[in-house]
A and B are shown apart, each in its own frame.
Chain A
Amino acid sequence: MSQISEKIAIRAREELFINIQPIQAGGRLTPEAMKAMIAYGDGYSTCDWCLKPFRLDKIRKPPIDEFHAELADFLGMDQVRVFPGARRGFQAVASTLVEKGDTVIVSGLAHYTEFLTIEIVGGIAREVPPNEDNIITGEATAQKIEEVKRETGKLPKLIMMEHFDYVFGNEHDIRGIAKVAKEYDIPLLYNGAYSIGLMPVDGRKIGADFLVGSGHKSFASPAPSGLLATTDEWAEKVFRTSRATGDLTGRRFEGKEVELLGCTLMGANLIAMMASFPTIRERVKRWSEEVRKSNRFVKEFLKIEGNKVLSEMPRKHTLTRVDTTGSFDEIARTHKRRGFFLTKELKERKIVGPFPGATKKWKLNTYGLTWKQVEYLAWAFKDIAKKYGIPVRE
């Protein structure tokens, strides 16, 4: 096997295997992004033409300034900045809006990084419970706000809410939640880690104050990369510039945006995001086809006796949580390799991605697979089931 260096092997997973790892699918690079990594990999490569006011989003060559404007327009927001991951976008908003002791509403299916960003500023996260179908509704969000108001005498300072969560890939009532946020006059942060870059998202139409997206999860970009988009009104606050003065030198850094610590994605990660952007613009228009492929796979997967889908049905996303306790786990219980038998059988059929050894509840993602690959994937699971005597409906 070829090596990058003595201890680093090449990663040819995406060329050799069908990879259904749940968080890797939307971040697979476009060929243009791969080319950007080749040409712009050197450290401060974006800084060749960094002129006054010495800020990343103002650089004209390559056209980073233009990218920012086009990206904001694409998202239906006034302004955008790139960040090293969605989590840094959450952090910028929380750091601007939330003070010690303030409450922030999050989903009962929220990603841990939302909790951490609230914790950093001394805020208190309160979770909205999902309903019996694992969906967060506007009504449940309103109830939680009322609960917080009753207990603390104050309204929450912020609502952070996923459009699609990372556990089930379920779609939550984001428009209903935005309506509730408006009624209570609480700013809404739309967590689009599993939507921005995959499907059309228009912040203005949703009624969000902040949109946060992940480059490496859903924007065909390397890690870490992400974005935070907002309105002109909020941009003044969250993208505020430095007012600090050095007491000895009298130095000032007036152009530098405090929450961004000046510049953020300086180098190949940003250029890769930019390089993927034309493809992103087009691929979001084909989201419904990706969902059809997801449903096609699930339909075949459910022909294996004992297989269950724990996510909402029909699927509205390509990330799906499944339960194979009644099928593959039955085999794992007596197999000498235990749960790793499934990992091995899949790998022999050139499929990777499910958590190694998992045969009970696990997640997969079909995003970006061709129809042929989706059919092959479904065949592979059924072939393994048949090999071990698990009934498969035709």
Chain B
Amino acid sequence: MSEKAVMETFEALFALTDLRQIFRETKPTYELSAEQRRKVKEIIERVRRSLEVIEREMIG
């Protein structure tokens, strides 16, 4: 049960790391291209999915 939550924690951290990279590539104006906006959306969805799994696994 909690193994899944552990793995999803890494998935979320890795997705947020990809977000860090987008910040690095677009600083200091953070004007995103259409492709970058698509990536950010994907990352946010990925993190949300992971958080849902963690919540379900750990809290119920």
A contact set with B: CB distance below 8 Å: 14-18, 28, 31, 34-35, 38-39, 349-351, 370, 372-373, 376
With A and B bound together, what is the CA distance between A278 and B46 in angstroms? Answer: 24
Minimum C-beta distance from A384 to chain B (A): 15
* Structural contact, A373 and B27, CB atoms closer than 8 A: yes
- In the complex the two chains form, is B27's CB within 8 Å of A350's CB? yes
Residue of B nearest to A37 (CB): B17
Contact of B17 among A18, A28, A31 (CB under 8 A): A31
**In the docked arrangement, what's the CA distance between A16 and B27, Å?**
6
Residues A15 and B27 in contact in the complex (CB < 8 Å), given A38-B10, A39-B10: yes
- Asked if B57 is at the interface (CB within 8 A of a chain A CB), the reply is no
Smallest Cβ-Cβ distance to A368: which chain B residue? B24
Write out the residue numbers on chain B whose beta carbons fall within 8 Å of the beta carbon of A16. Answer: 23, 27-28
B28 in contact with A38 (CB, 8 Å) = no
Q: CB-CB < 8 A to B23: which residues of A?
A: 15-16
Q: Which of A15, A35, A351 has the most CB of B within 10 A?
A: A15
Q: Which residues of A contact B28 (CB under 8 A)?
A: 16-18, 349-351, 376
Residue from B10, B20, B27 in contact with A31 in the complex, judged by beta carbons closer than 8 Å = B20
Are A38 and B13 neighbours in the complex by a CB distance under 8 Å? yes
In the complex with contacts A14-B24, A15-B23, A15-B24, A35-B29 CB distance below 8 A: no
Given contact pairs A15-B24, A38-B17, a sample of 11 additional A-B residue pairs in the complex whose CB atoms are under 8 Å apart? A14-B24, A14-B27, A16-B28, A18-B27, A31-B18, A31-B20, A34-B21, A35-B14, A372-B29, A376-B28, A376-B29
- A/B interface sample: 15 pairs, CB < 8 A: A14-B24, A14-B27, A15-B24, A15-B27, A16-B23, A16-B28, A17-B27, A17-B28, A28-B24, A31-B21, A35-B13, A38-B10, A350-B27, A373-B27, A376-B28
Q: How near does chain A come to B37, taking the closest CB pair, in angstroms? A: 16
A370 to chain B, nearest CB (A): 6
- Minimal beta-carbon separation of B39 from chain A (angstroms): 11
Whole-angstrom distance between the Cβ of A42 and the nearest chain B Cβ:
14
Q: How far is B48's CA from A7's CA once the two chains are assembled, in angstroms? A: 31
CA distance A18 to B29 in the complex (A): 10
A14: which B residues are within 8 A, CB to CB?
A: 24, 27
Q: How far is the CB of B20 from chain A (nearest CB, A)?
A: 6
Which chain A residue has the least Cβ–Cβ distance from B33?
A: A372
Q: Which residues of A contact B13 (CB under 8 A)?
A: 35, 38
Set of chain A residues within 8 Å of B21, measured between Cβ atoms: 31, 34
By Cβ-Cβ distance, the 9 closest A-B pairs, closest first, are A350-B28, A15-B23, A31-B21, A34-B17, A35-B14, A31-B17, A14-B24, A35-B17, A38-B13
In the assembled complex, the CB of B45 is this many whole angstroms from the nearest CB of chain A, namely 18
- Most chain A beta-carbon neighbours within 10 Å: one of B10, B20, B23, B27: B27
Partner of A15, one of B14, B18, B20, B29: B20
Shortest Cβ distance from B28 into A: residue: A350
> Does B42 sit at the interface, judged by CB under 8 A?
no
| B residues less than 8 Å from A17 (CB atoms) | 27-28
Roughly how many angstroms separate A79 CA and B18 CA in the complex, as a whole number? 33
A376 to B29, CA, bound (A): 9
| A372 CA / B21 CA spacing, docked (Å) | 16
- In the bound complex, what is the Cα–Cα distance between A18 and B25 (angstroms)? 10
CB atoms of A38 and B27 under 8 A apart: no
With a cutoff of 8 Å between Cβ atoms, the chain B residues found around residue A370 in the complex are 25
- A372 to chain B: which residues have CB within 8 Å? 29
Tell me the complex Cα distance, A28–B20, Å: 12
